[in-house]
Structure 1
């Protein structure tokens, strides 16, 4: 591709020009700002630009503009002596101004370096949004105010985080947490550290995680993000952070160490602290779109460097399969290289243990925007020497055609399972059926092929950051989102929630008791199911968002974890469930239990199955003297009781789920299925063993163990 490049010295163009041909893809490790022995080497990929200026920004806001030199691989490079860590900078790129073709080169825009390892400042509305003057298409603005745009920062060497203490968890329990919101109200975190990386690393927070028994902390986005202009205009902020502009940079707003590179070291120390505690660190990452929004959004970086970054249709319009205004085009090889380089950076330089990919199917779309399950992204991640060894979790849907891909990512991926969420919620509100509940309890073999995928492939959850909290799920029938400024139109209307007779918070003791019991049953179902469980931070404490099921823009008490009034019973139950899960491998089987005969070490059949479903009735002539589910039972729409029998050569467990309103007496198995049953856990707290039967109060989940198992 021949490109005419006009060099510039300062704001005015000179008459000099150069023609270059881009023949190779750039080496991603050479891009960005790299300190040298005498200064800093800068390199930027912008193959369609006619000229690129490096702008070094002084403390008083003044700019020193330097011409960069084009190379054959589409990069613009310059080494500047005497420039070191902490220096703020940006780029101004000249070239064609044809927005209809995705070409928005505009030297009036000071652009963020996509490869910047740190970002200083944030976006506001003063001059940072419009690409041309109103009513004058094709004209460009005056130069941006430096207070309006984020700036790149040169970062020096940061010590690598300490490795994970102990082996990587083979049976992860994920704790999805907002880094800032977890500590904003924590009384034992120093006030100056609340909401920061250092605050999350505080002993009080780390001890809570260890005591709870989770293995993996999944942080909502911590790559540098900006708030959308429409939220700024309303006085709101993007709290969740799904609006990334700095894919190599820890978010500056979470730093207690300033924004000139201190955020990088502070994040690295957080990783070290969590690793020291034996906790994995997984990042929720957003490579499907950027913070530049739709065609009317701000030009902050990518859009001003060329059309290669975004999916465009034949008319040059942005293709949006994310619902966020744009879609990153990983069918372009350099863009794909960029994503992979960013991921490697967070692993090799900042020590993280894995990633959860927001709207992951967007990354698998080909040059015609169709989902391709053989996409180079999947192939390269699977074989990459760095990325193939980390934990990979997909949110396996986007909003485009064929965007729902649950169960189709293949090994080694784990995948969010929204069917688990929906079916478990339905059962416990009395609107589901036991067939779907059983499928979810046993690892969702309808979605995850048991011949090629282990049970850990399904990431089970009842709640997530997006939607009601666990407390709100049992306290509100409708969403209450007016604080978001969209007249209550945002957020899902399909919540599968109940309020137990009163909408919202109440002092009615009976209603509160029913809600807590319902919440305990939901948490217990999550943690006795085969798969990888994910707990939303604060659910174990009874955190409420006051009925807001889309609190993405609420950086306040609506979203923050309130540590002062916990639901202590739910917290204690969650700890006990996670202890049982650790101590009893049958609750976390690596392979899906499907009703196989259990055999001893010699291969002899022990007369029981690895999975059986019980009705709760006696059957003297049946194995163990208990009745197993038949087709008639499975299709009974009024059935509210289900027993799950699990066994191997060493142990037998029995899990009862009862969502009805009446106490029932259920017989316990005998003979080869095991005898001497003891009650390990009852989520309701009032079920008892009476002779050879279990008096099961409702609603509840109960777990029993055979103390005399034939071997």
Structure 2
């Protein structure tokens, strides 16, 4: 018999909600025969197991009188155990409420969490001892928070930041290292502001778990792409209260002038394969929450399971999660990991998928910054340019083409020009702006900028997979020495190449994305898949150097130029119906003689120079952009502009560029921006 009085309560909101006389609980499980609310004391001893007394449209609910905010609890579920039908009910497993907002501790993998043995029979060990307890809290919307930063679309620039890696070796108070509050320490804010970026893209901050195989190897999931729950902030990044400290971080970034978007993982969970952890979704309603066919998981993520984003309960859960992170936690948008899964129906991708449409019609979510990683590993999993126009999309074609151009590959001029002008083969005129293309050279997965110019091969032995993981083709170069060197000539070549990469990125049409640490010459020692390295390989090195200062100055100056000359981010072309209501800008492509590119010029395989003239509709600005990727000297005459010939201002030049009597002398690979 329960010591607590229970009434039917309400089906809304889902999760725990605090009432004057108790706490209401509402949990979705379509297929369960019975759910139980398990109450725990402050020592994690189970006090009561109270059966839910009401179920309506798949939602179990009740109001437990006498409970107070902060109560520790978990869920148990009874129902059929039929793995061949994906029914995995096992009441010996304590489950985390999908709508819980906080946990008592981090979740660590333990064999007792499994609902099924490797032989396919039910596993009967109770898991309460190895599953953190939910805390019944209901964080409120703060009305006195700093105002959100409104970023103009053509000025947006993304800076990808890992909370721990960014702050762990920063010169700040010890208790703030690796923490949310470290991100808003004075040195961190000063550094971010010095770059002239607009938007912080936080790597995953959902509470996450280290996978079994990594734990057994003595490694850990550092990146955080392995979520337990879609509402709870990662507790290891907090000193005491993860919810309050995450909110404080957002407030501090707002006050410093930044928009903040959060990298989110809605495509899979940490429960992994069927015989791994049963700690939440699997135990509550495995057949509903995960994609499956013929009794097997559909693993379109490569992570052991695939969240069924076509299921109405999942769609509601994801949208509720997103609104919570916007309204309560304060973020301004999202970057979606493996976003094609969010656009799948039964199996196939469509831009009209219910979840994508639900996001775009939502009056709150539709106004946020939405960035898609437009692929997964399932069938037809590559969908760059195919998402609805409300989403920006990470453009790997840009990354690879720009890398190949600066690598010096032949036959790249036409492809490179396409990427410079917004990848219109993917983001078509009349339908999408070039700003939909999120351009990047480096991301968390792959080489850092420093390693891109320092290593020809990946060096991933520390991951303990015999150097088989990570991309094999990095389109990288080392300029004569693999890895670190003190050779001043090699260091100068590497610095020049990094500056050329950054200048290309920031002067391209579209939305630029920077990897945090590239401006510090951060190296991962050639590791291009450092997801399991929670150490100096991934923690940013804040030691000062002349190279780092040059890179920071380059980024800051170029970001200022993008804001001063919007045509650098988004040109309004005459043949683009998207801008038919606006006066048209002009683009002219030029060769090394500053003559209009001919058909032959475009199709000459060994051409390594390209320039373009951007002229605003009011003729107020004529900007000449020059790109050259060879080590030999060429002299490029200024374009002829009749009476404007004398009005020349070099806005930006990389180290190998000099102005000589109406010529640019390019003594090696270089980028220049000249106002004529």
Normalised TM-score (structure 2): 0.94
CA contact (8 A) 1:120 1:151 kept: yes
For 1:392, which of 370, 374, 380 is the aligned residue?
A: 370
Counterpart for residue 650 of structure 2: 679
User: 1:443-482 alignment to 2 at 5 Å?
Assistant: 443-482=422-461
For 2:518, which of 528, 539, 546 is the aligned residue?
A: 539
Distance (whole Å) between structure 1 residues aligned to residue 672 and residue 325 of structure 2: 42
2:611 is aligned with 1:643: yes
CA contact (8 A) 2:12 2:26 kept: no
| Alpha-carbon spacing, 1:9–1:524, altered in 2? closer, same or farther (3 Å) | same
CA contact (8 A) 1:159 1:265 kept: no
CA contact (8 A) 1:121 1:151 kept: yes
2:539 is aligned with 1:560: yes
| Alpha-carbon spacing, 1:27–1:58, altered in 2? closer, same or farther (3 Å) | closer
Counterpart for residue 659 of structure 2: 689
Structure 1 alignment gaps of length 5 or more: 1-7, 11-19, 21-25, 618-625, 707-711
Counterpart for residue 46 of structure 2: 63
| Alpha-carbon spacing, 1:420–1:288, altered in 2? closer, same or farther (3 Å) | same
The Cα shift of 1:437 comes to: 1.0
Distance (whole Å) between structure 1 residues aligned to residue 503 and residue 173 of structure 2: 34
Distance (whole Å) between structure 1 residues aligned to residue 122 and residue 625 of structure 2: 68
Counterpart for residue 174 of structure 1: 158
Deviations 1:529-586 (A, max 9, x none): 0100000001011111110000001111100111114422111111111111121222
For 2:20, which of 37, 47, 51 is the aligned residue?
A: 37
Counterpart for residue 131 of structure 2: 149
CA contact (8 A) 1:456 1:590 kept: no
Counterpart for residue 316 of structure 1: 295
Counterpart for residue 89 of structure 2: 105
The count of residues paired between Structure 1 and Structure 2 equals 661
Counterpart for residue 170 of structure 2: 186
Counterpart for residue 592 of structure 2: 616
Counterpart for residue 657 of structure 1: 627
Counterpart for residue 121 of structure 1: 105
Distance (whole Å) between structure 1 residues aligned to residue 315 and residue 384 of structure 2: 23
| Alpha-carbon spacing, 1:586–1:627, altered in 2? closer, same or farther (3 Å) | same
The Cα shift of 1:343 comes to: 0.8
The Cα shift of 1:162 comes to: 2.2
| Alpha-carbon spacing, 1:156–1:410, altered in 2? closer, same or farther (3 Å) | closer
Distance (whole Å) between structure 2 residues aligned to residue 658 and residue 33 of structure 1: 60
- DSSP-derived class of the 2:228 partner: strand
CA contact (8 A) 2:112 2:126 kept: no
2:561 is aligned with 1:580: yes
Deviations 1:341-397 (A, max 9, x none): 111111111121111111111111112x11122111122211111111111110011
Counterpart for residue 279 of structure 2: 300
CA contact (8 A) 2:422 2:510 kept: yes
2:57 is aligned with 1:73: yes
- DSSP-derived class of the 1:245 partner: coil
- DSSP-derived class of the 1:198 partner: helix
Distance (whole Å) between structure 2 residues aligned to residue 126 and residue 405 of structure 1: 37
The Cα shift of 1:333 comes to: 1.1
Distance (whole Å) between structure 2 residues aligned to residue 88 and residue 391 of structure 1: 35
- DSSP-derived class of the 1:616 partner: coil
CA contact (8 A) 1:54 1:91 kept: yes
User: 1:273-288 alignment to 2 at 5 Å?
Assistant: 273-288=252-267
The Cα shift of 1:691 comes to: 1.4
- DSSP-derived class of the 1:335 partner: helix
Distance (whole Å) between structure 2 residues aligned to residue 49 and residue 360 of structure 1: 30
Distance (whole Å) between structure 1 residues aligned to residue 589 and residue 11 of structure 2: 54
Counterpart for residue 211 of structure 1: 194
Deviations 1:205-224 (A, max 9, x none): 11211111110101111111
Normalised TM-score (structure 1): 0.89
Distance (whole Å) between structure 1 residues aligned to residue 460 and residue 397 of structure 2: 24
- DSSP-derived class of the 2:231 partner: strand
Structure 2 alignment gaps of length 5 or more: none
For 2:37, which of 25, 30, 54 is the aligned residue?
A: 54
Distance (whole Å) between structure 2 residues aligned to residue 47 and residue 101 of structure 1: 14
| Alpha-carbon spacing, 1:492–1:273, altered in 2? closer, same or farther (3 Å) | same
| Alpha-carbon spacing, 1:673–1:455, altered in 2? closer, same or farther (3 Å) | farther
- DSSP-derived class of the 1:388 partner: helix
Higher relative strand content = 1
| Alpha-carbon spacing, 1:591–1:129, altered in 2? closer, same or farther (3 Å) | farther
Counterpart for residue 634 of structure 1: 602
For 2:213, which of 230, 237, 240 is the aligned residue?
A: 230
- DSSP-derived class of the 2:630 partner: coil
Which of 642-651 and 565-574 deviates more? 565-574
Distance (whole Å) between structure 2 residues aligned to residue 199 and residue 83 of structure 1: 35
- DSSP-derived class of the 2:605 partner: coil
Distance (whole Å) between structure 1 residues aligned to residue 11 and residue 338 of structure 2: 24
The Cα shift of 1:92 comes to: 0.9
| Alpha-carbon spacing, 1:63–1:593, altered in 2? closer, same or farther (3 Å) | farther
| Alpha-carbon spacing, 1:672–1:99, altered in 2? closer, same or farther (3 Å) | farther
Distance (whole Å) between structure 1 residues aligned to residue 397 and residue 191 of structure 2: 30
Deviations 1:257-309 (A, max 9, x none): 2xxxx211111111111111221110111111111111222111000011100
| Alpha-carbon spacing, 1:401–1:127, altered in 2? closer, same or farther (3 Å) | closer
Counterpart for residue 570 of structure 1: 551
| Alpha-carbon spacing, 1:382–1:237, altered in 2? closer, same or farther (3 Å) | same
CA contact (8 A) 1:354 1:390 kept: yes
Distance (whole Å) between structure 1 residues aligned to residue 167 and residue 529 of structure 2: 20
Distance (whole Å) between structure 2 residues aligned to residue 363 and residue 430 of structure 1: 37
Distance (whole Å) between structure 2 residues aligned to residue 213 and residue 452 of structure 1: 30
| Alpha-carbon spacing, 1:204–1:169, altered in 2? closer, same or farther (3 Å) | farther
| Alpha-carbon spacing, 1:363–1:190, altered in 2? closer, same or farther (3 Å) | same
